[in-house]
Structure 1
Amino acid sequence: VGPEKQKEPFVFASVRILGAWLAEETSSLRKEVCQLLPFLVRYAKTLYEEAEEANDLSQQVATLAISPTTPGPTWPGDALRLLLPGWCHLTVEDGPREILIKEGAPSLLCKYFLQQWELTSPGHDTSVLPDSVEIGLQTCCHIFLNLVVTAPGLIKRDACFTSLMNTLMASLPSLVQQQGRLLLAANVATLGLLMARLLSTSPGISTWNPQQPEESEFCGFKVEPPPPRP
């Protein structure tokens, strides 16, 4: 598919169907899937960069809430969100994971996560936030967890994960205070703790000060001791 046809609704609909199939089929046609992965990464990256250039996050949320299958003129569609579940399965396997890493998918996912994370910040009205945004963030966490376990070297050398870690450290304490966000907070806390083990000596990580309440309670959860037995 050439660049001139990537904005066509038919291509977007085809990617959406393929994304749904990849989310369900975890072992079928693996060779063909691997051959398609470079195109899927480039396609998702193209649409993401166009959305970034448009700088129209509010329109993105409104479009998501109405219908992701009818992309508008300034926002071609969130193809990456549709591919996340399938990529979550594929990052567990050596072959597909290496292709995704080679094509720059982890860096793209970090940028996408940070962009979507902004929509959950206190400055935005989270009451009108589509469920797909939080689900996408959770799925990104699962993909990152797969990479932490299977490709720790990537986490250490790619600067995008340093930026991601700093965002998690700064934002999680306020996230756990938001009603209805417990599952997302748990995913973020787990990811943050595992990444902290790998990035503890990274020069780009914000200084960890356990004397600061927001950092000493990074997980946002306190385990109370059991009451004494009578």
Structure 2
Amino acid sequence: MSGIVAGKLAFVTGAGSGIGRAVCQKLAKEGATVVAADLNAKRASETVALLEGSDHLSLAVDVVSPNSINEAFVSVLQHYPKPPTLVVNSAGITRDNYFLKLSETDYDQVLDVNLKGTFLVTQIAVKAMINAEVSNGGSVVNLASIVGKLGNLGQSNYCASKAGVEGFTRGACIDLAKFGVRINAVLPGFIRTQMTDIVPEHIKTILIAKTAAGRMGTPDEIAEVVAFLCSNKSSFVNGASIDVTGGFF
């Protein structure tokens, strides 16, 4: 199969819906074999059923649990001869509330999944690449958010987590370059997903008005950029944060 990531094995978290599912579909279309990882095993399986090609794998993975991630990589190596060299950290949650009403639990959960989960998956995945001597040419793509730069009402925890993903990406870039692994972040703007479906219509109207393109983006539009960063076409892009917002200011 031809494509910009043909012959590669990709590990995608948050694969059960939204941007994660779109990324799986795009990578498979571009020739990769995909491990679709999600906390919800049923949704991960449903994603795999949508993919072009064969020999894809779905796994239930809790990105906050090192044991769960390690078990996933054991399963991957039982199914494939080598570990994934493409990693996309798309797992994320929101627990929105006005700052003065935000609970410590909701703050911790968002930071754990969105930031710590990105760290844990990346560390375990890159160690597997290095141990298997396949790290040269490896690529990690982290899903951050434009609100990590600009802020957003009722999302101080989410903004902090996504700003952290950007900082993590820049720091890890320096450490991982010597192993041949690139790591970059994509910052979506206002994208039509299950996460944004719950946003009240009057808020959507305000956010769309702040977007130069005059509309919400689609998960497919994010997936196109992720696939580029996974591929050798972006071989000199490293430690970058790429806004994909339609011009959101």
- Shorter-chain TM-score range: 0.3 to 0.5
TM-score, length-scaled by structure 1: 0.32
Give the helix-richer structure, 1 or 2: 1
TM-score, length-scaled by structure 2: 0.31
